[in-house]
Amino acid sequence: MACINTLQSCSMFKGAKAEARRGKATGAGSFGCRASTFMDGSGLRLGLDENPDAIISGEWPENFSLLSYDDLRAYLQSQQQQQQQPPSHAADQQRGPLLREAMSTPVLMVTAEQALVEVEGHFQLVSGLPVVDSARRCVGVVVKSDRARASHGPKTKIADVMTSPAITLSCDKTVQL
């Protein structure tokens, strides 16, 4: 069995500690505990200075832990970094990611002069496409459901079915979660 400082106050270990101090700790099932040590019935004792990572993480043959010391250290460091951030950064994290982090890239675009049949393949990747003019300014949006309004079927021009004007946002805006 094993103990670390945090387990020594447990009532299960108190009796064993007392027996170990009186010299009655014998056999494979008995154990003794001291601060920063591991001791089994065979008299093997591993001190903290001999293998601190194994003791802290609880990863020695008699005890297996799913949480490794590296995992715990990484978690604690991330918590410390979050606490040290200025309030403005913490507020940004609570608002959500920036639009540039959430949007699909590269941005697929179509022109108002194109026919629906020309852009049909894009709807397998995205649900909507920005419609741009020759200066690449967004003038509208065409979505999958706009195909139902196509008066000439797949040969209908995007200008005839798109929603205009388009509501646009700059990529430095945040996404509400």
- Give the whole-angstrom CA distance, residue 30 versus residue 18: 11
Which CATH entry fits the domain spanning 102-161: 3.30.70.520, 3.40.50.360, 3.10.580.10, 3.20.20.70?
Answer: 3.10.580.10
68 pLDDT band, cuts 50/70/90, is low
Q: What is the pLDDT of residues 91-109, one digit of tens each?
A: 555 677 888 887 777 888 9
- The answer to whether residue 164 scores a pLDDT higher than 80 is yes
- Provide the pLDDT for residue 42: 54
**Contact status, residue 166 vs residue 130, Cβ threshold 8 Å:** yes
Going by DSSP bridges, is the β-strand pair 45-47/37-39 parallel, antiparallel, or unpaired? antiparallel
**Contact status, residue 150 vs residue 159, Cβ threshold 8 Å:** no
Q: What is the pLDDT of residues 19-58, one digit of tens each?
A: 444 455 444 444 444 444 445 455 555 455 555 565 555 5
CB atoms within 10 A of CB 162: 21
- Provide the pLDDT for residue 153: 87
CATH 3.10.580.10 location in the chain = 102-161
Return the residue matching tokens 């020594």. 8
Concatenating the DSSP letter of every residue in the chain gives ----GGGTTSHHHHHHHHHHHTT---STT-----TTEEE-TT--EEETTT-HHHHHHT-BTTB--SS-HHHHHHHHHHHHHHHHS-HHHHHHHHH--BHHHHS-SSPP-EETTSBHHHHGGGGGT-SEEEEE-TT--EEEEEEGGGGGG-TTGGG-BHHHH-BSSPP---TTSBPP-
Q: How far is CA 125 from the centre of its chain?
A: 25
- Give the whole-angstrom CA distance, residue 155 versus residue 158: 9
**Contact status, residue 119 vs residue 140, Cβ threshold 8 Å:** no
